[in-house]
């Protein structure tokens, strides 16, 4: 699977959030007022809940937002189709799940598979799922980190784009998940910005589990 050939227009990004949105903010800050230089622009921010800091960040940046809540739909499939339709309305080249705490379904993947990116706070394939930081800490690993990957139909199983490593210290063991997660997020934000920028500027192709960055056809 290959991305479209890079063009001079910045890639259109829809970012999905569920919480504080610091990864979204890192993208906003990196793009700044030079989407051409970064290679991408955020065209909308979507969420699965209202009243979150992530949406406030989007509004402060003057971006359109949308909220698609599971409980407003009769079935999970209907929610998935509504999320896919709302996202498609902004004609994204790439969709970024930046702390979006929902597993999307068939319809969303049919539309955005191969251009839907997630960031996960552990070194996949270890510790997938909603509690990656806690699970790594409980296992007693000495290093953990974060993974930016394409989303497939498994839970955090798609092809890996980039990873960052964070050492687990004695203090983490004592202080617990929150302190370690904060240190992971410092690395994660930089990793996500770099990965999105490179995908948008340089193009990419996915061959099986391997992601190759660089102009398609080179
Ligand atoms: C990130 O660590 C992400 O990997 C995880 O939730 C966190 C989101 O943070 N799924 P934020 O909302 O971007 O601040």
59 and 91 within one domain: yes
**Closest ligand 1 atom, CA of 26?**
13
Residues 92 and 168 in one domain: no
What is the per-residue pLDDT across 142-173, written as a single tens digit (0 to 9) for each? 999 999 999 999 999 999 999 999 999 988 87
Best probe residue, ligand 1, of 130, 135, 185 (max atoms within 8 Å of C-beta): 185
pLDDT tens column, 106-155:
999 999 999 999 999 999 999 999 999 999 999 999 999 999 999 999 99
Mean pLDDT, the chain, integer: 95
Q: Range of 142's domain?
A: 120-147+163-212
> Domain check: are 20 and 72 in the same one?
yes
Cα–Cα distance between 86 and 148 in angstroms, integer? 24
pTM of the model: 0.95
* Number of domains forming the structure of the chain: 2
CATH of the domain at 126: 3.40.50.170
Length of the chain in terms of residues written? 218
Active site residues: 120
Helices marked H in the chain — which ranges?
22-31, 35-38, 53-60, 76-88, 106-112, 132-139, 170-175, 177-202
pLDDT for 21 equals 98
Q: Which residues pair with 113 in a beta bridge?
A: none
Round to whole Å and give the CA distance between 145 and 180: 9
């Amino acid at each position: 699977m290959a991305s479209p050939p890079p063009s001079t227009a910045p890639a259109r990004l829809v970012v999905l959030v569920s919480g504080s949105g610091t990864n979204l903010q890192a993208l906003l800050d990196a793009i700044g007022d030079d989407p051409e230089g970064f290679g991408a622009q955020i065209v909308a921010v979507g969420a699965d809940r209202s009243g979150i800091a992530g949406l406030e960040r989007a509004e402060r940046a003057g971006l359109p937002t949308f909220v698609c809540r599971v409980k407003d739909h009769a079935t999970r499939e209907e929610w998935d189709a509504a999320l896919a339709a709302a996202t498609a309305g902004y004609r994204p080249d790439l969709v970024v799940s930046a702390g979006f705490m929902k597993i999307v379904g068939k319809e969303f993947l049919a539309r955005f598979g191969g251009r839907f990116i997630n960031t996960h706070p552990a070194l996949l394939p270890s510790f997938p799922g909603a509690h990656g930081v806690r699970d790594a800490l409980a296992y007693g690993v000495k290093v953990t980190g974060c993974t930016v990957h394409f989303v497939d139909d498994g839970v955090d199983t798609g092809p890996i784009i980039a990873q960052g490593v964070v050492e687990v210290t004695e203090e983490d063991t004592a202080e617990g998940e929150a302190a370690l997660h904060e240190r992971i997020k410092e690395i994660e934000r930089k990793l996500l910005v770099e990965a999105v920028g490179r995908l948008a500027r340089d193009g990419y192709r996915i061959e099986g589990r391997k992601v190759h960055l660089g102009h398609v056809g080179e």
